[in-house]
Chain A
Amino acid sequence: MTSEQPAVSLLGTSALLFEAPGHAMALQTQQRIWSLARVAATWPEVREAVPGMNNLMLSFARAPRAIDALRDRLCDAWEAVTPLPLEGRVVELPVVYGGDGGPHLADVVSHTGLSIDDIVEIHSAPIYPVYALGSHPGYCYLGGMNPRIATPRRKTPVLSIPGGAVSIGGAQTGVSASAGPSGWNTIGRTSMHFFDPASNPPALLQPGDALRFRVEKVIR
């Protein structure tokens, strides 16, 4: 795969994965992914079009015989789509950084060479657009994190971090919506209700909404 071309790959016979060129996670690219998802969701082979971070998974209703034709159709559609400028609401979350709720803040310090205060300031500065939902019910993948605080995913995932955990994984950040395992570096804790299976839609945030983190406290 060259960085100019999108990559299309198989996830068994269950789904197709489309990755926009390169390794960046640009908002405009994500807006094109949202467009592509809307187009692909209408195709008969596709059960669901699921955006990721500058990528799109198409789960199959039924594994199509003519998989190459579907690949071509997807790439053609990518060339044709324009960015879908979804804009929703901005939700502000109060965060306690560090302490028991941020057990891996020290790992971010040692990887980046930055101080706790710098990391907190850099992390809490942007408005983070919701690129996609995934990982677990209601979890929002956010764009716009400053690459200065990027820290690789952990070699050994932690068995359980609680809902509300604010974490950094690679060049991304996010907030857990419920307790569960995580390979990301947890730097703080907030509280927010992200998912209600009885609501329609059940997720309280969607692509186009945005989050910002307000520093409530820093425990060094």
Chain B
Amino acid sequence: MIEIMSASALATVQDLGRCDALRWGVGTAGAMDPLALAAGNILLGNDAGAAAIEVPVFPFQVRFTQDGVFALTGADCAARLDDAPLLPWWAGQARAGQVLSLGLPRGGAWAASRAYLCLAGGVDVPQVLGSRSTQLRGAFGGFEGRALRQGDVLRAAVSGSPAARPTGFGLVPPALALPLQRDGVPAMRVLPAAEYSHYTEASRAAFWAAEWKITAQSDRYGYRLAGPVLEARTTVEMRSHGIVPGVIQVPSGGQPIVQMRDAQPSGGYPKLGTVIEADLWRLGQAPIGSRVRFIETTWEQATAALDETDAWLAEARRLVELARHQRARS
């Protein structure tokens, strides 16, 4: 019930990722900002992990071919429904024929780079190996295993009158509710990995102290960072082993690459550390050209951070359900 009007937008259907298929070489894929995806679903009363459209390139336009409800979270991209400006992180409704336009992400209080468009019940595409996320390498899952193109039509899993689905409320983005910065620069917590001690003391210190620039060669596979050259004291040819999104590899050039959602689920380059799961959304939203910092953390702090994001989602769900219930009654 929506038709993609934009060409080459690199938009893909994602959910919270494909688990349980690592043993066949299938990585998780999934939203770069899972918190925004979940929040958009919560705004519509969907399961938190329902599939949505991840929009990384702007401007982006879709046309509603039927009446429907939608939620838009992630980057604040001056969205409009026809001519009417929309509030960010908001649930709204559209009539057949209306065009939803996402503009360029604004800086503002939070500089982000990906938006999430959620539909009633989630985007209706088949589950493959337990997930609706797009697996680009291998071309399966999501919408025909590929990025969306002009003319593609996507359905909401739940149809029916938008009158039955309350909208007209929003959420305060977690970037504001759960801020994390060092000296004004967005920061992510990192747990040291197996080869951390292979790096010189000066390089380790530089890793924590530096403002790392997200270079233009950064995408869903990995974020290539520019900053001080990190030197290893020893070079070991490693055995291939499983890795996860967030793993920070340092190839021989000395510039770190953070593996992201579409990264290979295994590799053989030395690992300095891993961005903790609770902070992956922060990095996933960092725009090309922006800078980030890394904060050394402990297991206890990292698991507490997971509790914090879980609590934010639970609170959002509780309050949204109250608002939906109230609106349904009135």
- With A and B bound together, what is the CA distance between A23 and B192 in angstroms? 21
With A13-B277, A14-B245 known as contacts, the answer to whether A51 contacts B23 (CB < 8 A) is yes
Is there an interface contact between B241 and A55, defined as CB atoms closer than 8 Å?
yes
Using Cβ atoms and an 8 Å threshold, which residues of chain B touch A171?
Answer: 237
Using Cβ atoms and an 8 Å threshold, which residues of chain A touch B26?
Answer: 136-137, 202
Q: How far is the CB of B171 from chain A (nearest CB, A)?
A: 24
- With A and B bound together, what is the CA distance between A180 and B265 in angstroms? 13
Is there an interface contact between B302 and A63, defined as CB atoms closer than 8 Å?
yes
Determine which residue in B22, B23, B26, B194 has the highest number of CB atoms from chain A within 10 A of its CB, and name it. Answer: B23
- Residue-by-residue, is B212-254 near A (CB-CB < 8 Å gives 1, otherwise 0)? 0000000001000000000000001111111111110001110
With A10-B299, A12-B276, A19-B239 known as contacts, the answer to whether A135 contacts B22 (CB < 8 A) is no
Is there an interface contact between A135 and B237, defined as CB atoms closer than 8 Å?
no
Is there an interface contact between B23 and A48, defined as CB atoms closer than 8 Å?
yes
Is residue B184 contacting chain A, with contact meaning CB distance below 8 A? no
- Residue-by-residue, is A186-220 near B (CB-CB < 8 Å gives 1, otherwise 0)? 00000000010100011100000000000000000
- Residue-by-residue, is A120-163 near B (CB-CB < 8 Å gives 1, otherwise 0)? 00000000000011111111010000000010110111000000
- With A and B bound together, what is the CA distance between A65 and B298 in angstroms? 12
Using Cβ atoms and an 8 Å threshold, which residues of chain A touch B141?
Answer: 197
Is residue A39 contacting chain B, with contact meaning CB distance below 8 A? no
Is residue B12 contacting chain A, with contact meaning CB distance below 8 A? no
Q: How far is the CB of B188 from chain A (nearest CB, A)?
A: 10
Using Cβ atoms and an 8 Å threshold, which residues of chain A touch B238?
Answer: 170
Determine which residue in B19, B137, B139 has the highest number of CB atoms from chain A within 10 A of its CB, and name it. Answer: B137
User: What number of A residues sit within 8 Å (CB to CB) of B?
Assistant: 57
Interface size class of B (residues with CB under 8 A): 35 or more
Q: Which one, B23, B252, B274, contacts A133 given CB within 8 A?
A: B23
Is there an interface contact between A203 and B264, defined as CB atoms closer than 8 Å?
no
Q: Which one, A14, A54, A155, contacts B274 given CB within 8 A?
A: A14
- With A and B bound together, what is the CA distance between A14 and B244 in angstroms? 7
Is there an interface contact between B277 and A134, defined as CB atoms closer than 8 Å?
no
Determine which residue in B246, B265, B271 has the highest number of CB atoms from chain A within 10 A of its CB, and name it. Answer: B265
Using Cβ atoms and an 8 Å threshold, which residues of chain B touch A11?
Answer: 193, 242-244, 246-247, 271, 274
| 8 A Cβ contacts from B126-175 to A | 128-129, 135, 137-141
Is residue A94 contacting chain B, with contact meaning CB distance below 8 A? no
Interface secondary structure of B, over-half rule: loop
Using Cβ atoms and an 8 Å threshold, which residues of chain B touch A53?
Answer: 239-241
With A47-B19, A63-B306 known as contacts, the answer to whether A135 contacts B25 (CB < 8 A) is yes
- Residue-by-residue, is B267-292 near A (CB-CB < 8 Å gives 1, otherwise 0)? 11101001111100000000000000
Is there an interface contact between A17 and B236, defined as CB atoms closer than 8 Å?
no
Is residue A103 contacting chain B, with contact meaning CB distance below 8 A? no
Q: Which one, A13, A19, A134, A202, contacts B129 given CB within 8 A?
A: A202
- With A and B bound together, what is the CA distance between A150 and B240 in angstroms? 14
Is residue B82 contacting chain A, with contact meaning CB distance below 8 A? no
Is there an interface contact between A52 and B19, defined as CB atoms closer than 8 Å?
no
Using Cβ atoms and an 8 Å threshold, which residues of chain A touch B221?
Answer: 181
Is there an interface contact between A180 and B191, defined as CB atoms closer than 8 Å?
no
Using Cβ atoms and an 8 Å threshold, which residues of chain B touch A25?
Answer: 239
Is residue B303 contacting chain A, with contact meaning CB distance below 8 A? yes
Is there an interface contact between B19 and A59, defined as CB atoms closer than 8 Å?
yes
- With A and B bound together, what is the CA distance between A150 and B138 in angstroms? 28
With A13-B277, A17-B194 known as contacts, the answer to whether A197 contacts B129 (CB < 8 A) is yes
Is residue A91 contacting chain B, with contact meaning CB distance below 8 A? no
- With A and B bound together, what is the CA distance between A179 and B242 in angstroms? 20
Using Cβ atoms and an 8 Å threshold, which residues of chain B touch A137?
Answer: 24-26, 135, 137-138, 140
Q: Which chain A residue lies CB-closest to B235?
A: A152
Is residue A77 contacting chain B, with contact meaning CB distance below 8 A? no
Q: How far is the CB of B246 from chain A (nearest CB, A)?
A: 5
Is residue A178 contacting chain B, with contact meaning CB distance below 8 A? yes
Is there an interface contact between A203 and B243, defined as CB atoms closer than 8 Å?
no
- With A and B bound together, what is the CA distance between A141 and B193 in angstroms? 23
Is residue A169 contacting chain B, with contact meaning CB distance below 8 A? yes
Using Cβ atoms and an 8 Å threshold, which residues of chain A touch B271?
Answer: 11
Is there an interface contact between A12 and B247, defined as CB atoms closer than 8 Å?
yes
Using Cβ atoms and an 8 Å threshold, which residues of chain B touch A47?
Answer: 19-20
Is there an interface contact between B242 and A15, defined as CB atoms closer than 8 Å?
yes
Is there an interface contact between A63 and B241, defined as CB atoms closer than 8 Å?
no
Q: How far is the CB of B152 from chain A (nearest CB, A)?
A: 20
| 8 A Cβ contacts from A14-37 to B | 14-15, 17, 19, 23, 25
Closest 9 CB pairs of A and B: A57-B242, A134-B266, A12-B274, A9-B194, A52-B241, A53-B239, A137-B138, A203-B24, A170-B237
5 contacts across the A-B interface (CB closer than 8 A): A14-B274, A134-B265, A172-B239, A195-B24, A197-B138
Chain B residues with a Cβ under 8 A of chain A: 19-27, 128-129, 135, 137-141, 190-194, 221, 236-247, 251-253, 264-269, 271, 274-278, 299, 302-303, 306
